Amino acid sequence: MVILDFELICEMMLVAEGLIDARLLSRKFISLYTLCRELLSKQDHYDWGLRAIKSVLVVAGSLKRGDRNRPEDQVM
């Protein structure tokens, strides 16, 4: 079975969305994401998969493109 490297996937998606500090932001995002997955309720309607990560990162990219003067850490 293959274990996905969410941090690397997140970093590449942030680079593709045009963010400069992708490595640092991906580490922060994945640590927050992991904490949420572990600490929040284990109900079925919560999606902690790659599809949810991709959705958040696409929105972050569109926010950054919408306001280029906003710092990247505030976008995430």
pLDDT tens column, 19-65: 999 999 999 999 999 998 889 888 877 788 889 899 999 999 999 98
C-alpha to C-alpha distance for 22 and 62, rounded to whole angstroms: 15
Residue 39 lies in a domain: yes
* 42, 43, 54, 63 from 38: Cα distances, Å: 8, 12, 19, 27
Residue 18 lies in a domain: yes
Residue 73: which pLDDT band, with cuts at 50, 70 and 90? confident
Residue 76 lies in a domain: no
The whole-number pLDDT of residue 44 equals: 78
Domain that includes residue 58, residue range? 6-70
Residue 1 lies in a domain: no
The whole-number pLDDT of residue 24 equals: 94
**How many domains, in total, are found in the chain?**
1
Between 3 and 12, residue with greater pLDDT: 12
CATH of the domain at 29: 1.10.8.710
